[in-house]
């Protein structure tokens, strides 16, 4: 564990003191509270990154949702093409 000095804005400090007293009953736990808040922030960032990565994969690899084999896909594609050609009179 390392000790350091940080400068907090008055409003931020008051909120942290108030929360420390509400949670733990004393201001001596201010370091504990700050450590918890920093860890929560890191966890949330990690979750957001996972969500972003998942979104990108789903958007770029949408074919994974197709539950048919390659040959089934080709047959379906040919049937759809035939319908279009007949509709055009070809």
Confidence at residue 78, expressed as pLDDT on a 0 to 100 scale: 92
Confidence at residue 32, expressed as pLDDT on a 0 to 100 scale: 92
Confidence at residue 63, expressed as pLDDT on a 0 to 100 scale: 57
- Do the beta carbons of residue 19 and residue 11 sit within 8 Å? no
Read off φ and ψ for residue 5, nearest 5 degrees.
-110, 135
HEC readout, 25-52: CCHHHHHHHHHHHHHHHHHHHHHHHHHH
Confidence at residue 47, expressed as pLDDT on a 0 to 100 scale: 78
Confidence at residue 16, expressed as pLDDT on a 0 to 100 scale: 93
pTM exceeding the 0.85 threshold for the entire prediction: no
- Do the beta carbons of residue 27 and residue 21 sit within 8 Å? yes
Positions of the chain with pLDDT lower than 50, given as ranges: none
CA proximity to 21, closest of 33, 3, 6 = 33
């Amino acid at each position: 564990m390392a000790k350091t000095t940080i400068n907090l804005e008055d409003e931020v400090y008051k909120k942290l003191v108030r929360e420390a007293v509400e949670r733990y009953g004393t201001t001596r736990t201010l370091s504990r509270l700050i450590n918890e808040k920093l860890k929560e922030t890191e966890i949330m960032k990690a979750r957001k990154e996972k969500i972003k990565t998942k979104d990108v994969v789903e958007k770029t690899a949408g074919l994974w949702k197709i539950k048919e084999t390659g040959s089934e896909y080709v047959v379906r594609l040919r049937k759809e093409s035939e319908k279009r050609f007949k509709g055009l009179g070809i």
